[in-house]
A and B are shown apart, each in its own frame.
Chain A
Amino acid sequence: QKEVEQNSGPLSVPEGAIASLNCTYSDRGSQSFFWYRQYSGKSPELIMSIYSNGDKEDGRFTAQLNKASQYVSLLIRDSQPSDSATYLCAVNSGGYQKVTFGTGTKLQVIP
């Protein structure tokens, strides 16, 4: 069973702080990794994709991938109350769309 693990939270951070969200996966053959944001009652929205080891930055978001340790993380700098949502980690175990989602981490940004 290929698994993707996330801490369900909630993770509470003060406004302006850095939020760090983590995800581990079991399939060493995984090739592509995605972070989605899902507001309550809404559908998932793609934030970032990452394919290679290291960091990838997009605005206030940084995704980090370490394939040797089988984890991927998402950093949100200068967190805003509007960032309060559930963040889903998704892992494609290779090839065509065989994507496994974690159960998500709920982030609360406190004003």
Chain B
Amino acid sequence: KAGVTQTPRYLIKTRGQQVTLSCSPISGHRSVSWYQQTPGQGLQFLFEYFSETQRNKGNFPGRFSGRQFSNSRSEMNVSTLELGDSALYLCASSPTGYDQPQHFGDGTRLSIL
């Protein structure tokens, strides 16, 4: 069974640009969560989607948004990039998201110049 697939693996952007990251969950998994990981803050929850609906959202500004498609694939968008957005962005999936462990993708390393 294929794992969680995130693309691209690496991205370099400049301040003010926007970026879209993609996540394909494990087949059959309908819950997709996004996290930001930085050395100083650790893993911070961004949002969680299930059946194309955002169920939970973390404490991030509105520049961070996401969506989920009918095949459970999810995208995350960050607009007006700031230097502080440099991080590893991780996607995780689980079957329904209810008290279940999540399985992580390899992440997208985003660097802002």
Which residues of A does B touch, CB under 8 Å? 31-32, 34, 36, 42-46, 49, 51, 88, 92, 94-104
Contacts and interface: CB of A to CB of B under 8 A. Distances in A.
B43 A96 contact: no
13 contacts: A32-B99, A43-B88, A43-B104, A51-B99, A88-B43, A96-B31, A96-B50, A96-B55, A96-B56, A96-B97, A97-B33, A97-B56, A103-B42
B55 A97 contact: yes
Question: A32, A42, A44, A96: which has the most chain B beta carbons within 10 Å?
Answer: A96
B92 to A, nearest CB: 8
Contacts of A95: 98-99
Contacts of B42: 88, 101-104
Contacts, number: 59
A43 B37 CA distance: 10
Task: Determine chain B's interface SS by DSSP, over half rule.
Answer: strand
B48 A97 contact: yes
A97 B94 contact: yes
Interface of B: 31, 33, 35, 42-43, 45, 48, 50, 55-56, 88, 90, 94, 97-107
Contacts of B90: 43-44
A98 B42 CA distance: 16
Contact of A101 (B43, B100, B103): B43
Contacts of B35: 101
A97 B35 CA distance: 12
